[in-house]
Chains A and B, each alone.
Chain A
């Protein structure tokens, strides 16, 4: 026992720098030879940086009339102005804040519910599984977007907080389904049985033994939920069911639509938020594609695989296969 503790003590003093180094190495290994991760990560970090530093990057107040209506992109207003004379560039930055925060919080809510329901029904089984599964099925058969539209219309012009909660609470069942199935598959594996025999508590088994095996599914589901929530938020916004006085990508599209921006030739008012949505969605999808490699150690590739390919090629050439 003392020996083990000593080892820990020896390891720790040199750790901060080494930890950083190994973290960088891991990051490098993740992005190396993984184009979707590189492109997706780059795009998403641009979008996130834009939203995060919106107050600093914006040139005008997004809610004030700062120009004549429908000014084409120029030096003063790089993405033009809207029908009501607001600066599109500043609006898209500030709108990103709202849209992304709604989408991400809705994703977090949905995935938390999905993990809770999925893992407990998968792991505990029996009555708990029966009831939770019934609940999942009920939520699954609700048509989601119509439900959202009805709820949003019923509640009147709702703020982004209500939309976040609505989206979060309605988009968990698919994730819960998948997680439940995966948990059931893992539960019957021998390492779980051995953990039970060793006397580990149920919570430890769920958190330490099962959850790490679900990381790729949970994270993939989370990105999917974020993607969906972003689209749904914009969809509700376009339909005018969100709060049109708040600046978000959805409400920008709504105002572009109602002021018939495309008919009058003001394409920038419509295209800028649409492209912002498309880029963010694409980035999320690309990251989702590359996430499997990170969470599953068996699939992990790294710089050494390149060496393998080189050596394999050399060996093939020696044998006259190439």
Chain B
């Protein structure tokens, strides 16, 4: 088993009064140990739904209808409650989108840190406290802060505390669902640098979910781009960023400015995301695509290997057979 996590043909549906919306459609990807995989895409394309599915956090009306999520040879979707409890946080921890709100406002951060440790490990309160101080030091907060309440900390510090909680049990995989969206760029940079130091130190993998492509290009080893529930492009960060092949990825990259280089006119992507309840026949992106062909209206494209380690789901690109 070379891959830490393997997702095969995962489908997640939302059952609504108006019909069943498929928020994640046949997504397959894998994460190697120590790798950072970025998932990009616009709002509502299924990024967070995918992340939630990995630790099986979905509640009704969401439903993981098809596929498997294999972690270290074991299917997460087949685990019973006890296995699932062990799996969560021991093996995979999550940093949520609104990380600041995932701290309980009436409990001190020290207690919230030790809670995690004591729920999963048989240690005394004192040992847990020591570990909590250590964790706070790791993310750059002084150990004296253990007795503070969340409202006494700044946004960036709260974010660090949440990351410290995610690191508490030294998981193999950390899912980060837009962890820095609410922060300013300076703090964002600080936290990401720290995260990288920690990553080299502890060697965990990261599934990084964000709509910030430039950030993604810097920190991720591989990038997956999602559109309307489909994974449409997956490849090395440099490849996807430098030589995007799917029209949607091209549009995404063309819609934000570069810091260096000449000033250029920016082009956004026209139109709106498709309604998941009225998926058209053929490619999901056809209505917004500038280079639509006949085949795009008829057949749904699937991921094709175009280069070593670069997959694209589009009728316009040619599959390269031998690589």
Interfacial residues of chain A within 272-322, with CB under 8 A of chain B in the complex: 302-305, 307-308, 311-312, 315, 318-321
Judge whether B61 is part of the interface by a CB distance below 8 angstroms.
yes
- With most chain A CB atoms within 10 A of its CB, the pick from B13, B20, B61, B75 is B61
Q: In the complex the two chains form, is B78's CB within 8 Å of A307's CB? A: no
Neighbouring A residues of B281 by C-beta, 8 Å = none
Complex interface: stretch among B63-71, B156-164, B302-310? B63-71
How distant is the Cα of A315 from the Cα of B61 in the complex, in angstroms? 14
Which of A29, A303, A308, A321 sits near B60, CB closer than 8 Å?
A308
Nearest first, the 8 closest Cβ-Cβ pairs linking A and B are A308-B15, A304-B17, A308-B61, A319-B78, A304-B15, A315-B65, A308-B60, A307-B15
| CB closest chain-B residue, reference A307 | B15
**Chain B 66-102 near chain A by CB (<8 Å), digits 1 or 0:** 1000000001011000000000000000000000000
Asked whether B293 is an interface residue with its Cβ less than 8 Å from the other chain, the reply is no
The answer to whether residues A305 and B60 also contact, given A311-B13, A311-B65 and a CB cut-off of 8 A, is yes
Which label, helix, strand, loop or mixed, suits the secondary structure of the A interface? Answer: helix
Residues of B within 8 A of A321 (CB): 78
| B63 / chain A contacts, CB cutoff of 8 Å | 308, 311-312, 315
Pick the residue among A303, A304, A315 that contacts B64 (CB under 8 A).
A315
Cross-chain pairs A/B with CB under 8 angstroms, 28 sampled = A29-B17, A302-B17, A303-B17, A304-B15, A304-B16, A304-B17, A304-B61, A305-B15, A305-B60, A305-B61, A307-B15, A307-B20, A308-B15, A308-B61, A308-B63, A311-B13, A311-B15, A311-B20, A311-B63, A311-B65, A312-B60, A312-B63, A315-B63, A315-B64, A315-B66, A318-B66, A319-B75, A321-B78
A312 cross-chain contacts in B, Cβ below 8 A? 60, 63
Give Cα distance in the complex from A321 to B78, angstroms. 7
Q: Bin the interface of chain A by size.
A: 10 to 19
Min CB distance A185 to B, Å, is 13
What A residues does B20 contact at CB under 8 A? Answer: 307, 311
Q: Which residue of B lies closest to A318 (CB)?
A: B66
Roughly how many angstroms separate A29 CA and B61 CA in the complex, as a whole number? 16
A311 vs B65: C-alpha distance when bound (angstroms): 7
Q: How far is the CB of B8 from chain A (nearest CB, A)?
A: 13
Chain A residues near B60: list those with CB within 8 A: 305, 308, 312
Distance from B7 Cβ to chain A, minimum over Cβ atoms (Å)? 15
Chain A, Cβ-Cβ closest to B80: A321
Identify the B interface with A (CB < 8 A): 13, 15-17, 20, 60-61, 63-66, 75, 77-78
A320 to B78, alpha carbons, bound, how many Å?
8
Nearest CB of chain A from residue B282's CB, rounded to whole Å: 25
Query: Whole-angstrom distance from the CB of A242 to the nearest CB of chain B?
Result: 49
CB proximity of A55 to chain B, nearest CB, Å: 43
Closest B residue to A310 by CB, please name it. B15
Q: How far apart sit A29 and B63, CA to CA, in the bound complex (Å)?
A: 21
**What's the minimum C-beta distance from B308 to chain A, rounded to whole angstroms?**
34
A-chain residues with CB within 8 Å of residue B17 when the two chains form the complex: 29, 302-304
Give the residues in chain A near B15, CB-CB below 8 Å.
304-305, 307-308, 311
Q: Which residues of B contact A304 (CB under 8 A)?
A: 15-17, 61
CA distance A302 to B20 in the complex (A): 14
Q: With the chains together, A162 CA to B269 CA distance in Å?
A: 71
- Please measure, in the bound complex, the distance between the C-alpha atom of A318 and the C-alpha atom of B9, giving whole angstroms: 14
Complex CA gap A297/B77 in Å reads: 29
Compute how far the CA of A29 lies from the CA of B16 in the bound complex, rounded to whole angstroms. 13
**Residues in chain B near residue A308, CB distance under 8 A:** 15, 60-61, 63
Q: A29-B17, A305-B15, A318-B66 are in contact. List 15 more A-B contacts (CB 8 A).
A: A302-B17, A303-B17, A304-B15, A304-B17, A305-B60, A307-B15, A308-B15, A308-B61, A311-B13, A315-B64, A315-B65, A315-B66, A319-B75, A319-B77, A320-B78
CA distance A308 to B77 in the complex (A): 17
CA distance A319 to B64 in the complex (A): 11
A307 to B19: give the CA distance in the assembly, Å: 10
C-alpha gap A303/B15 in the complex (Å): 10
Q: 1/0 per residue A183-224: CB within 8 Å of B?
A: 000000000000000000000000000000000000000000
**Nearest Cβ on chain A to B228's Cβ, whole angstroms:** 20
Contacts of B75 in A (CB 8 A): 319
A316 vs chain B, min Cβ distance (A): 9
A278 to B17, CA, bound (A): 37
Cα–Cα distance between A309 and B309 once the two chains are bound (Å): 39
Q: What is the distance, in angstroms, from B24's C-beta to the closest C-beta of chain A?
A: 14
Residue of A nearest to B60 (CB): A308
Q: How far is the CA of A302 from the CA of B61 in the complex (A)?
A: 11
Q: What distance in Å separates the Cβ of B47 from its nearest Cβ neighbour in chain A?
A: 22
Alpha-carbon separation in the docked complex, A302 to B66 (Å):
24
Q: Which residues of A contact B66 (CB under 8 A)?
A: 315, 318
Q: What residues of B have a CB within 8 angstroms of the CB of A307 in the complex?
A: 15, 20
Task: Tell me the nearest residue of chain B to A303, going by C-beta.
Answer: B17
**Chain A residues whose CB sits within 8 angstroms of the CB of B77 once the complex forms:** 319
CA distance A99 to B64 in the complex (A): 53
- In the complex, which residue of chain A has the Cβ closest to the Cβ of B16? A304
Q: For B78, list chain A residues within 8 Å (CB).
A: 319-321
CA–CA, A303 and B78, complex, Å:
27
- What CA separation (Å) do A307 and B60 show in the bound complex? 11
Question: Which A119-152 residues have C-beta < 8 A from chain B?
Answer: none
Q: Which residues of A contact B13 (CB under 8 A)?
A: 311
On chain A, the residues within 8 Å of B65 by CB distance are 311, 315
Q: How far in angstroms is the closest Cβ of chain B from A297? A: 12
Closest chain B CB from A50 CB (angstroms): 36
| Smallest CB gap from B77: residue in A | A319
In the bound assembly, the distance between CA atoms of A302 and B18 in angstroms comes to 11
